[in-house]
Chain A
Amino acid sequence: MANAFLNRSRAASERLARDIGIQIDRLRDRRLCLGVTGLSRSGKTTFIASLVHQLLQHKKSSLPGFSPVMSGRLLDVRMHPLEDPHLPPFPYRDAWQQLSGQPPAWPEPTRDSSGCLLELRLGRKPGGLNPFARDHFSLWLEIRDYPGEWLLDLPLRETGFRDWSLECGHRFAQSPRAALAPDLLQALAQIDPFAEADTARLAQLQRAFRDFLAAAKAQGLSQIQPGRFLLPGRDDDAELMQFVPLPGLADHDAAALDAASERSWYTLCRKRYERYVRELVEPFYRHFFSRIDRQLVLVDVVSALNGGPAMIDDMREALTRITDSFHYGRQHRLMQLFRPRIDRVLYAATKIDQVISDDHEAVRAFLASLVSDAYRHAEYEGIQPACEATSAVRCSREVEDHGDRALSGFDTEGRPVGYVHPRFPSRLPDSEHWQRLMDWEIPPLRPPAGLSARNDDAIPHIRLDTVLNLLLGDKCV
């Protein structure tokens, strides 16, 4: 009994000491939390894996644009698990094994959250005033990975059930969603919110709604809410997800709805929705995003352009809505402990190796115009977001074919393939140009063969050094 109490208090005091240590590191500007935000299929896991890999292999990888590498002060990089006991470690080893396997393959899409802590051992510049200063120090970098589907739930934190239902109704009324499941949308709109709820019917509707969301995602649409319907977490309570939006609420005013009986459709769905937000979305936001100092937003511009105008608009709105959840601005480090704000934002167009280098600048400019709505919020606080066209794993090389610049690589079966793609616009194109972009079928490429884990090969990348420098460079001095 006394022993158990002693053990418990020892564990608690160790945890407290560790937390204080973390806060002191943050105060000394030696610990950073990097928020990687990316919609589902923007290549988040591959990007993180490659970023970690470039740092771990900094001796062999080419990072001339990252200032500590440039000045030879990056001594060593190590990976540790995060201090959070509930968060599994980021599956870096699996990802790297798949990338360097025979035949090479892309890492599995993320199905649950994970995280890692990188320790960058840096040499100090000589000539300091303090004779007792050590000649090297550690910079700690927290990185967390999570399914991109969950990110789309962040706007729900500030939306009530009625508003959400109305938004859904608005969205469902437009193409291409309207054509996906007309029967279901009709049925949802016809539910009388005051009538007594039928749980069997609700379960059936919820299944149909989930299928509808899956179909919308397969079409390449970005705004899939609630995201956990498609990909529930490990310990999520299934009952929390038993609700559907009621687009028919537009005809009733808020006061009448609040007076609806306990067993009505409206009250039942609203209560579950509120529990969903409170018990799943809020903790997710708190653990993953409430403390970030630097933000990296990954956007798959190439696929979105390939999908057409509706996909671009949907993506633009999703990105804008998501940025509302973050706080930007510059402030003193002491304030950063209590109410962190993001002081650097980088938007990265991923998978740029699908595009020839002549068009990289156009894609970058297009990304800047695509996210200009999203970062107006940051600009107002004096934060200038940066945009960059990058690729975590470069799997193509540029060749010439009949006078055109072209790309060549291996397709997923390992056959060599080369292709010429239409020109990429730096702004929204005209309809004829759209058609050419939409008709183009992006050939899926596999990672480059010949990478070997045994030989400590470095993954070829496109401009990850710029990304690293923009995110971390100023903290490495």
Chain B
Amino acid sequence: MTEEPDDTERSSRRFAPEPAPSTAQAEPERRARRFVPTEEAQLAAVPEAVTASEPLPGVNEYGSLQLERLPVKGLGTLGAGLLVLVMVIAVAELVRLFDAALSLHWSAAAALGVLIGGVGVLALRSLLSFLRARRSLGRLQRLRLRAEQQTGRHTAGRSGGMLAELQAFYADKPQAPILAGALDKLPDYSDDCETLLHLDRHFVERLDREAMHRVSRYSAQTGLAVAFSPWAALDMLIALWRSVQMIDDIAQTYGVVPSWPTRMRLLRKVLAQLTFVGASEVAIDQLSDDLGTAALAGTLSARAGQGLGAGILSARIGLAAMRVLRPLPFPAGREPGIRSLIAPLLEKLKSRLARRRG
């Protein structure tokens, strides 16, 4: 069903395009005017209240049917209480153990003391390193917040602090030379909004390209792995593992130092993005053109279809991760769509399947 490429030469011509159908209101426009109402008797009465039970014309009637969630109260407090209880018991036990050791011999007590102290120091150290590991992502988020407040503001002199923060964030990281190059090219007359745009174009977009590259690679891997995996349960594990790896990889592109606590926080934020801000991805409906009857019905088997589904989900996760991790918000309308990721994914799946059959 694939169309043959059209080799015949086109001759140039002009024509008058049909006028676009006017989307404006088809009804005649109302003109403002005043009049004196006649039904005086009715007027004197107090008007009725309009409440949620009276739907508006042209609006879904049952949109306001909502029930409030019934919270299970006290679960968090219960957990905290249990934790404190366990701690108290542990301390009491330790004290008793110490007493027992002391009654045995002083050296046993000393050894126990050293053990307890050592564990305490270890706990403190890991707590500190946990807190330090989170800092990288926290700095990126603060940067992002500042950038978000500045977008669209034609003020001057606010971006200086932000540039310094950006430089400090990327110092000692492989992204530093790209940033330095972008800053060198920064025209001296730009106001804050233009500075952001310049940075976006000359610095962040390069990181975007690399991130897109990585997303594309990972989604193809996930798709293939799922397509060829023998058990369904394994599919999920593969997809999860590759997604976490991908998020880590994207974070590195944008200069977030990978670590375990960062990964957990990122995973949460990415999931939130995926569920809350997925609206722009509605365009996926139009994909049926891309995939087309040719791709889906003809050449792809059911397994490959599953692989495609997993690949698309993985690509969506990747895009959500980019939205979360980008140091500047995406400029309106320039957010990368999922379509650009799907065509290569499909190509890879098809070629691999063909190779397997052939």
Chain B residues within an 8 Å CB radius of A166: 155-157
Bound-state Cα–Cα, A63 to B37, Å: 30
Does B283 count as interface, using CB distance less than 8 angstroms?
no
Q: Which of B1-39 contact A (CB under 8 A)?
A: 25, 29-37, 39
Bound-state Cα–Cα, A61 to B46, Å: 13
Bound-state Cα–Cα, A419 to B30, Å: 11
Q: Are B31 and A417 in contact (CB under 8 A)?
A: no
Q: Which of A443-460 contact B (CB under 8 A)?
A: 443, 448-451, 457-460
Q: Hey, what's the 0/1 contact readout for B57-91 against A, CB within 8 Å counting as 1?
A: 11100001011111101001000000000000000
Does A64 count as interface, using CB distance less than 8 angstroms?
yes
Q: Name the CB-closest residue of B to A459.
A: B49
Q: Are A396 and B47 in contact (CB under 8 A)?
A: yes
Q: Are A474 and B58 in contact (CB under 8 A)?
A: no
Does B128 count as interface, using CB distance less than 8 angstroms?
no
Bound-state Cα–Cα, A204 to B149, Å: 35
Q: Name the CB-closest residue of B to A330.
A: B272
Does A83 count as interface, using CB distance less than 8 angstroms?
no
Q: CB within 8 A of A404: which of B25, B30, B50, B277?
A: B30
Does B231 count as interface, using CB distance less than 8 angstroms?
no
Does A387 count as interface, using CB distance less than 8 angstroms?
no
Q: Are A65 and B64 in contact (CB under 8 A)?
A: yes
Does B52 count as interface, using CB distance less than 8 angstroms?
yes
Does A465 count as interface, using CB distance less than 8 angstroms?
yes
Does A228 count as interface, using CB distance less than 8 angstroms?
no
Does A21 count as interface, using CB distance less than 8 angstroms?
no
Bound-state Cα–Cα, A358 to B56, Å: 7
Which segment of A145-153, A185-193, A373-381 sits at the interface? A373-381
Q: Are A64 and B52 in contact (CB under 8 A)?
A: yes
Bound-state Cα–Cα, A451 to B47, Å: 10
Q: Which of A346-405 contact B (CB under 8 A)?
A: 357-358, 360-361, 373, 376-377, 379-380, 382, 384, 391, 394-397, 399, 401, 404
Query: Given A379-B277, A420-B31, are A465 and B46 neighbors across the interface (CB < 8 Å)?
Result: no
Q: Are B149 and A474 in contact (CB under 8 A)?
A: no
Q: Are B57 and A406 in contact (CB under 8 A)?
A: no
Bound-state Cα–Cα, A470 to B292, Å: 44
Bound-state Cα–Cα, A401 to B66, Å: 37
Does A97 count as interface, using CB distance less than 8 angstroms?
no
Does B43 count as interface, using CB distance less than 8 angstroms?
yes
Chain B residues within an 8 Å CB radius of A23: none
Does A469 count as interface, using CB distance less than 8 angstroms?
yes
Q: Which of A305-351 contact B (CB under 8 A)?
A: 320, 324, 332-333
Does B53 count as interface, using CB distance less than 8 angstroms?
yes
Query: Given A63-B51, A357-B50, A448-B46, are A250 and B156 neighbors across the interface (CB < 8 Å)?
Result: yes
Q: CB within 8 A of B52: which of A416, A421, A463?
A: A463
Q: Are A461 and B148 in contact (CB under 8 A)?
A: no
Q: Name the CB-closest residue of B to A437.
A: B32
Q: CB within 8 A of A466: which of B37, B58, B64?
A: B64
- Of listed A320, A384, A397, A410, residue having the most chain B CB within 10 A: A397
Q: Are B35 and A461 in contact (CB under 8 A)?
A: no
Chain B residues within an 8 Å CB radius of A67: 67-68
Q: Are B43 and A397 in contact (CB under 8 A)?
A: yes
Q: Which of A45-87 contact B (CB under 8 A)?
A: 61-65, 67
Bound-state Cα–Cα, A419 to B31, Å: 10
Bound-state Cα–Cα, A422 to B28, Å: 11
Chain B residues within an 8 Å CB radius of A443: 34
Q: CB within 8 A of A62: which of B36, B51, B276?
A: B51
Q: Are B39 and A460 in contact (CB under 8 A)?
A: no
Q: Nearest-CB distance from A373 to chain B (Å)? A: 7
Q: Are A450 and B45 in contact (CB under 8 A)?
A: yes
B contacts with A, residue count (CB < 8 A): 50
Does B48 count as interface, using CB distance less than 8 angstroms?
yes
Q: Are A65 and B49 in contact (CB under 8 A)?
A: no
- Of listed B44, B52, B154, residue having the most chain A CB within 10 A: B52
Chain B residues within an 8 Å CB radius of A473: 68
Bound-state Cα–Cα, A332 to B77, Å: 11
Q: Are B158 and A65 in contact (CB under 8 A)?
A: no
Q: Are A436 and B51 in contact (CB under 8 A)?
A: no
Q: Are B32 and A394 in contact (CB under 8 A)?
A: no
Q: Name the CB-closest residue of A to B158.
A: A163
- Of listed A416, A417, A476, residue having the most chain B CB within 10 A: A416
- Of listed B50, B57, B156, residue having the most chain A CB within 10 A: B50
Bound-state Cα–Cα, A411 to B282, Å: 48
Q: CB within 8 A of B148: which of A254, A377, A418?
A: A377
Q: Are B50 and A463 in contact (CB under 8 A)?
A: yes
Q: Are B69 and A394 in contact (CB under 8 A)?
A: no
Does A291 count as interface, using CB distance less than 8 angstroms?
no
Q: Are A406 and B35 in contact (CB under 8 A)?
A: yes
Q: CB within 8 A of B34: which of A376, A418, A477?
A: A418
Chain A residues within an 8 Å CB radius of B278: none
Q: Are B30 and A423 in contact (CB under 8 A)?
A: yes
Query: Given A357-B56, A361-B56, are A382 and B272 neighbors across the interface (CB < 8 Å)?
Result: yes
Chain B residues within an 8 Å CB radius of A440: 32
Q: Are B29 and A462 in contact (CB under 8 A)?
A: no
Does B40 count as interface, using CB distance less than 8 angstroms?
yes
Q: Nearest-CB distance from B55 to chain A (Å)? A: 10
Bound-state Cα–Cα, A450 to B43, Å: 11
Bound-state Cα–Cα, A324 to B148, Å: 10
Q: Which of B150-208 contact A (CB under 8 A)?
A: 152, 154-158
Q: CB within 8 A of A421: which of B30, B44, B64, B148?
A: B30
Chain B residues within an 8 Å CB radius of A465: 51-52
Q: Are B33 and A419 in contact (CB under 8 A)?
A: yes
Does A162 count as interface, using CB distance less than 8 angstroms?
yes
Query: Given A162-B157, A250-B156, A476-B68, are A417 and B36 neighbors across the interface (CB < 8 Å)?
Result: yes
Q: Name the CB-closest residue of B to A54.
A: B49
Q: Name the CB-closest residue of B to A323.
A: B149
**Which are the 7 A-B pairs with shortest beta-carbon distances?**
A65-B52, A408-B37, A418-B37, A440-B32, A462-B50, A460-B49, A466-B52
> Can you name 14 extra interface pairs (CB under 8 A) apart from A163-B157, A163-B158, A418-B34?
A62-B48, A62-B51, A64-B53, A320-B152, A361-B57, A376-B148, A399-B37, A408-B37, A418-B37, A420-B32, A421-B32, A450-B44, A462-B50, A465-B51
Residues of chain A whose beta carbon lies under 8 Å from any beta carbon of chain B: 29, 61-65, 67, 162-163, 166-167, 170, 250, 254, 320, 324, 332-333, 357-358, 360-361, 373, 376-377, 379-380, 382, 384, 391, 394-397, 399, 401, 404, 406, 408-410, 415-423, 436, 439-441, 443, 448-451, 457-466, 469, 473-474, 476-477
